[in-house]
Structures are given as structure tokens and as C-alpha cells.
């Protein structure tokens, strides 16, 4: 699960870029604004979702370009492509080995996990951000999670629209939507619980040294309803219609993270401790993916080394090397990657 070539056309500030990774670590260095993070964002679009910035597709098109963009990656003998055209700049298309494919099917080919400076606020940003983070961890292990999440969201949106018109509008269609939501919702919850349990065990065996060891727990406020979600939604139609949204379900779950040494919840930890907790989760998850999918994921780490002292930086590089994952990293100076050694491919960007 590594990229042997990455080609960008009219993506962000890159008119044309062709990168051919040859080592485990791809270290992109250059000044601020050179387009390093843009390259990581391109790789993040090789899996389902909106990428590491969660930006609109049209925002990714180069201003002076053709009105669309293209990303092509060679991975394990397969050619994976995605992009948009000028006629439909918000509709992302996918091709795998020259055949049309769905966005959700990308999860079957690659696992990609990222850590960006914006995620430093993950624990303070609320349950929705932590839930998205957890779902990316689940997706890297269970490709079917993307399809069930998409089906659940679409059915819930339809249900909400129906309820806005009055609960008597179409009870049979509400029954059908709630049955579909329950089928996918049960899968989502089971997949999340399985990954949290496995990741908790992995954290105990993987993490040591200067990085914090987190304790994680899936917090489900509506666990009592999950025995029969469809019934819970049917009984709650009046309440949900008044609220204008669905008030019960897996879309309300949360990931609770504690600092093992202090027992503090992550939201109450210092910024440095929160960064260490995130790094620990990413490293343990990479090891877990390697076991459960028989190949490690691709890791995207944006400016991750800049705020670490040399000893912690060296420890991080060692732990990353142990995962076996292909690691794409960014930094303003090439010296930030000195501790990696010969397994680092230094690529100047914007020079």
C-alpha cells in the first residue's frame, strides 16, 4: 500500500507535478506557501471523503488552469485517478485501472491517514470532529464503512426532509428509510466498536518512550436504542420533526480520549500533550492497519516535526519506521528530517 508515482495536473498551485517515491519517507521541504500541504491533500483524495482540508472541489482547481484538476497515482501495479472537469467542478470522478469507479470504492485500494496542524484542535472542536477522525481510522481498516456511512447519511437527510413536511406525509417511505438507516447504522456502530477495541489493545503494545499513551473509549449516548434503531426512530418522529433533525443514532457518537499517565480527558490537556496523544493514536493505528489489512497505510504528516525537540523527533522517526508505512512529511527546512537517515527522499518544493 505505497505510491510509486504521483502525478498532479492543475491541482491547487501545481500546474504539473510528477513525483516518484523511492523510499519509505518522502520529505517535502520548502518555504511557506510553496505547495507542500497541497501535495498531501492530493494524496488524501485517493480515499473516500473530502480530503485533509475538507475543501470544496472547485477550490482545488488551479486559478490559471483548465477549470478542472487531475490526480493520478500508481500503487501496487494499479493506476488510481480522481479529479473534476470544468463542466462539473464540484463532481469528483474516479477511475481505477482505466475503468470508472465510485468514490467509496477507493477504500478498497488504499488506506490513507493524516495529521495536520488544524487537527491540533481535534479534542476541543467537539464530537463531530472526533467522530470524523474515528471514521477515518475505521475506514482504513474496514473499506465497507464508507458505503454504509454514505447510505446512512443520505437516508437520514431524506428522513429529515420528510419529517419537515409533517410525519403523516408518507409513513411507508419513512418506514423504508428508517429500516435502511438501521441496517447501515448497526454496521457503523459495530465497525467503530471493533476498531476502538482493537486500537486500545494496540496502544498498550505499540506506544512507549516520549509520547503519551492514550486511553480511548467509544461514547454512545444512544446505546439503549441500538437494539432496535428503526423502532426508536419510528417512536421519535414527532420529537425529531419538532427539532428539525434526527436526535438518536450513530451520528451522535463520540470518541473519548484520556491521557493515561494523568487520567485527564484530552480536552483538558496542554496543547503539547494533545499533540502527543494524536501522534500516539496515528502510530498505533498504522500498526493495527498493517496487521488487519496485511499492509500498512500511507501516512500524511504535515509539519509534524517542526515543534518537536531533536530527541522526540528522532523517537518519532524511529516509531514511524517501525510501522512500515510509506510516510509523506512536510517541513520548511530539510534539516528537520536529518534524523531519518538514508530512508528519506528529500524533495524541494517551489524551488
User: Quick one: 200 exposed, middle or buried, by C-beta within 10 A (0-12, 13-18, 19+)?
Assistant: middle
Q: What is the pLDDT of residue 224?
A: 58
pLDDT at 208 over 80: no
Question: pLDDT digits over 83-99, tens only?
Answer: 999 999 889 999 999 99
Task: Spell out the domain ranges in the chain.
Answer: 1-110+299-351
Whole-number pLDDT of residue 349 = 95
CATH 3.40.120.10 corresponds to the domain 1-110+299-351: no
Share of the chain above pLDDT 70, in %: 96
Provide the pLDDT confidence category of residue 209 given band limits of 50, 70 and 90.
low
| pLDDT at residue 101 in the model | 96
What pLDDT does 225 receive?
58
Residue percentage of the chain with pLDDT more than 90:
73
pLDDT at 52 over 80: yes
The secondary structure of 59-124 as a DSSP string is GGB-TTSSS-EEEEEEETTEEEEEEE-SSSTT--EEEETTEEE-SGGGGGT--EEEE-GGGGGTTT
Reported confidence tier of residue 273, pLDDT bands at 50, 70, 90: confident
Average pLDDT, the chain: 91
* pLDDT of the residue at 48: 95
pLDDT bracket for residue 339 (50, 70, 90): confident
Q: Kindly state the average pLDDT of the residues 76-83.
A: 95
Tell me, what's the pLDDT at 91? 92
pLDDT value of position 160:
95
**b/e map of 270-282 (b: 16 or more CB within 10 Å)?**
eeebbbbbbbbbb
pLDDT in tens, 40-51: 999 999 999 999
pLDDT band at 350, cuts 50/70/90?
confident
Q: Grade residue 74 by pLDDT with cuts at 50, 70 and 90.
A: very high
pLDDT of residue 315: 87
Is the pLDDT at 223 greater than 70, yes or no?
Answer: no
Decide if pLDDT at 66 tops 90.
Answer: no
Cα(14)–Cα(65) distance, integer angstroms: 9
pLDDT digits (tens, 9 = 90+) for 158-176: 999 999 987 666 889 999 9
How do beta strands 78-84 and 69-75 pair?
antiparallel
Per-residue pLDDT, 175: 94
Over residues 104-119, the mean pLDDT reads 93
Give the pLDDT of residue 65: 78
Cα distances (angstroms) measured from residue 346 to each of 84, 220, 336: 30, 44, 11
Instruction: Quickly count: other Cβ atoms within 10 Å of residue 337's Cβ.
Output: 22
Amino acid at each position: 500500500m505505497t505510491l510509486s508515482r504521483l502525478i498532479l495536473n492543475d491541482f491547487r498551485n501545481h500546474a504539473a507535478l510528477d513525483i516518484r517515491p523511492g523510499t519509505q519517507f518522502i520529505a517535502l521541504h520548502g518555504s511557506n506557501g510553496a505547495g507542500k500541504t497541497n501535495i498531501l491533500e492530493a494524496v488524501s483524495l485517493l480515499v473516500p471523503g473530502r480530503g485533509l482540508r475538507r475543501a470544496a472541489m472547485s477550490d482545488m482547481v488551479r486559478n490559471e488552469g483548465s477549470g478542472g484538476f487531475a490526480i493520478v497515482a500508481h500503487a501496487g501495479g494499479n493506476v488510481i485517478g480522481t479529479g473534476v472537469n470544468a463542466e462539473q467542478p464540484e463532481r469528483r470522478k474516479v477511475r481505477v485501472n482505466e475503468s470508472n469507479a465510485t468514490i467509496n470504492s477507493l477504500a478498497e485500494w488504499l488506506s490513507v491517514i493524516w495529521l495536520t496542524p488544524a487537527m491540533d484542535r481535534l479534542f476541543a472542536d467537539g464530537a463531530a470532529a472526533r467522530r470524523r477522525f474515528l471514521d477515518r481510522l475505521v475506514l482504513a481498516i474496514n473499506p465497507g464503512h464508507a458505503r454504509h456511512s454514505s447510505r446512512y447519511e443520505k437516508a437520514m437527510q431524506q428522513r429529515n426532509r420528510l419529517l419537515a413536511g409533517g410525519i403523516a406525509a408518507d409513513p411507508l417511505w419513512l418506514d423504508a428509510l428508517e429500516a435502511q438507516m438501521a441496517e447501515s447504522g448497526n454496521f457503523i456502530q459495530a465497525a467503530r466498536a471493533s476498531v476502538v477495541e482493537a486500537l486500545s489493545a494496540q496502544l498498550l503494545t505499540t506506544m512507549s518512550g516520549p509520547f503519551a499513551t492514550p486511553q480511548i473509549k467509544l461514547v454512545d449516548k444512544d446505546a439503549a436504542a441500538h437494539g432496535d434503531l428503526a423502532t426508536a426512530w419510528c417512536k421519535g418522529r414527532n420529537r425529531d420533526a419538532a427539532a428539525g433533525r434526527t436526535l438518536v443514532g450513530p451520528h451522535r457518537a463520540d470518541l473519548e480520549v484520556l491521557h493515561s499517565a494523568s487520567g485527564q480527558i484530552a480536552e483538558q490537556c496542554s496543547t503539547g500533550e494533545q499533540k502527543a496523544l494524536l501522534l500516539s493514536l496515528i502510530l498505533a493505528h498504522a500498526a493495527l492497519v498493517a496487521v488487519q489489512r496485511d499492509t500498512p497505510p500511507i501516512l500524511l504528516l504535515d509539519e509534524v516535526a517542526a515543534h518537536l525537540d531533536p530527541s522526540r523527533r528522532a523517537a518519532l522517526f524511529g516509531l514511524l519506521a517501525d510501522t512500515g508505512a510509506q510516510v509523506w512529511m512536510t517541513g520548511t527546512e530539510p534539516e528537520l528530517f536529518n534524523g531519518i537517515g538514508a530512508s528519506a527522499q528529500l524533495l524541494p518544493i517551489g524551488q
